[in-house]
Amino acid sequence: MTKDLEYVSGWGGNPKARTRLVIGSTVADLRQVLLAEHEGSRGVIARGLGRSYGDAAQRSGGTTLEIVRSGEPEWVDRSAGVVRSPAGVSIGELIRFADAEGFFVPVTPGTRYVTIGGAIAADIHGKDHHSVGSFGKHVVSFRLLMANGDIVDVDPTSDLELFNATIGGMGLTGIILDADLRLSPVSGNRLDVDLFRTNDLQATMDALTGAETSHRYSVAWVDMAGGGSAMGRGVVTNGNHTDVRDSGQTLREPILGVPPIWRIGLVNKLTVMAFNEVWFRKAPARPKQVAQSYDSFFYPLDVVRDWNRVYGRGGFLQYQFVLPFQSETLLPRLMESLATGPSPVALAVLKRFGPESDGYLSFPLAGWTLAADIPIPRAPSHLEARLRSIDEILVSAGGRVYLAKDSRLGADLLPEMYPKLIHFTEVRDRVDPGRLFQSDLAARLRL
């Protein structure tokens, strides 16, 4: 099925791309699209469920190939927890499949609506990065549809360079068809969560540091709207799997939704400050252990379908960076810079990362990572100037921004943020010298 010149965007709703949207499921469908592309075309990029925030899964003037589910996961080795999943299967669908056999996905982001192909291409991370690393660490192998139409099996022994270029490679080495993944054994499907609030940034950081060895999962919501001593006060949630098993649905469908005709932005300084105060006050002052479902702990925003529409017509961006531990004294300064200006930081999440992966363009490295949702103002130049100054500080400190959520980074800073970029480029020159696989992000960053 082909839709000519549709407008698509990432989850942030901005920027939009006018693209030839092609929906395909079978290998024959996908190969036909690739072979139909001609020299001088603007390229093609694969797209999953559209949860990349920026412009990584769209191609203006080219072809955006929407990958839909084409089969079910199946066990390769149940005793070892190794499963083979089509690339179009979502994290949520894989959780449902694995739960019946006492397994859970090793890494999950803050939404279950991410495909396995997208999880590999973005080398996603979760609340347990300090414990188990990023998604790519648990990938055994994958099949890749190349620019010339060939299908290759890729693992660290067959082609280590291509493996490392594809993990976190933003879909620019080929189209992932399916992958063998190593899941995590769990006894139940609920979590014991220690929940409490902290009064300032240092207390929040101390709480996350203290949980690193005792809890598999650790994350903090942080307040960036109040300013002063309240900057960085947080609600910390540290969790571990338990033996308790809920006999009901493993994951529940959204119960609310924002209609597609919604055009009014509800996110402003007043609404953010009011929400933050309520969210902070409702958390216990001392640690309290509560039992939570997968939905409650991992996917609180998924309860509202299309929640991104509350930002209105202009959309929003999510700015996520990682700052190495040796430079953590810069974190308050960077947070203050983000919080300054007419657009409030609507939602901010702070976590600790463990060691970086081998993926050439993989985002995580050992340090502090902050993800901040910011409404795009009517005059975005001031916001861009602010973010550019933060980019430059990050570069000087050895940090970087997350490409899967980016929509505005300058190409000049990419090599400094990602020192393994040269290795990625060498692989791409080998497997796709004509740059058939091209996205707006790739064009902007001259990848």
Range of lowest pLDDT (21-30, 32-41, 153-162): 32-41
pLDDT at residue 20, as a whole number: 93
Same domain (yes/no): 123, 216? no
| 420 within a domain of the structure (yes/no) | no
Same domain (yes/no): 173, 315? no
- Looking at the 3D structure of the chain, how many domains does it have? 3
| 104 within a domain of the structure (yes/no) | yes
Residues 6+ apart with CB under 8 A from 375: 265, 267, 268, 311, 312, 314, 315, 316, 343, 344, 346
Same domain (yes/no): 63, 78? no
* CA gyration radius, the chain: 21
Please check the confidence at residue 19 and state whether its pLDDT lies above 60: yes
The Cα–Cα gap between 375 and 433 comes to 38
Same domain (yes/no): 127, 255? no
What is the arithmetic mean of pLDDT over 329-354? Answer: 94
Range of lowest pLDDT (1-10, 21-30, 52-61, 215-224): 1-10
For 353-390, letters b (16+ CB in 10 Å) and e give bbebbebbbbbbbebbbbbbbbbbeeeeeebeebbeeb
Could you tell me if 417 and 38 are in contact, meaning their C-beta atoms sit under 8 angstroms apart?
A: no
The Cα–Cα gap between 69 and 66 comes to 10
Same domain (yes/no): 206, 353? yes
Please check the confidence at residue 431 and state whether its pLDDT lies above 90: yes
| 421 within a domain of the structure (yes/no) | no
* Structure confidence at residue 39 as a pLDDT band (50, 70, 90): low
Using one digit for the tens of pLDDT, what is the confidence trace for 256-278?
888 887 777 888 899 999 999 99
* Structure confidence at residue 38 as a pLDDT band (50, 70, 90): low
Same domain (yes/no): 390, 408? yes
What is the DSSP annotation of 167-228? TTSTT-S-EEEEEEEEPEE-S-SEEEEEEEEESSHHHHHHHHHHTTTT-SEEEEEE--SS-G
Q: How far is CA 403 from the centre of its chain?
A: 9
CATH number at residue 149: 3.30.465.10
Token digits of residue 51: 């949860």
| 23 within a domain of the structure (yes/no) | yes
What is the arithmetic mean of pLDDT over 200-205? Answer: 97
Using one digit for the tens of pLDDT, what is the confidence trace for 58-79?
999 999 999 988 899 999 999 9
Amino acid at 135: F
Same domain (yes/no): 142, 222? no
| 332 within a domain of the structure (yes/no) | yes
Last residue of a domain, one of 186, 218, 245: 186
| 429 within a domain of the structure (yes/no) | no
Could you tell me if 257 and 303 are in contact, meaning their C-beta atoms sit under 8 angstroms apart?
A: no
Last residue of a domain, one of 132, 164, 186: 186
What is this structure's pTM? 0.96
| 424 within a domain of the structure (yes/no) | no
CATH number at residue 6: 3.30.43
Task: Determine the structural domain holding residue 155 and report its residue range.
Answer: 74-186
CATH number at residue 385: 3.40.462
For 394-419, letters b (16+ CB in 10 Å) and e give bbebbbbbbbbbbbbbeeebbeebbe
Please check the confidence at residue 422 and state whether its pLDDT lies above 90: yes
Please check the confidence at residue 1 and state whether its pLDDT lies above 60: no
Same domain (yes/no): 236, 301? yes
Same domain (yes/no): 120, 158? yes
Same domain (yes/no): 339, 399? yes
The Cα–Cα gap between 111 and 300 comes to 8
Last residue of a domain, one of 48, 67, 86: 67
Phi first, then psi, for residue 350 (nearest 5°) are -120, 135
| 423 within a domain of the structure (yes/no) | no
Same domain (yes/no): 128, 224? no
pLDDT at residue 2, as a whole number: 57
What is the arithmetic mean of pLDDT over 402-427? Answer: 98
What is the arithmetic mean of pLDDT over 47-57? Answer: 96
pLDDT at residue 69, as a whole number: 83
| Share above pLDDT 90 across residues of the chain, in percent, rounded to a whole number | 83
Same domain (yes/no): 31, 173? no
Using one digit for the tens of pLDDT, what is the confidence trace for 207-255?
999 999 999 999 999 999 877 888 999 999 999 999 988 877 789 888 8
Relative to beta strand 367-375, strand 74-77 is unpaired
Please check the confidence at residue 34 and state whether its pLDDT lies above 70: yes
More confident residue, 413 or 26: 413
pLDDT at residue 3, as a whole number: 60
What is the arithmetic mean of pLDDT over 31-52? Answer: 87
Using one digit for the tens of pLDDT, what is the confidence trace for 147-190?
999 999 999 999 999 999 999 999 999 999 999 999 999 999 99
Mean pLDDT of the chain: 94
**Three-class SS of residue 122?**
coil
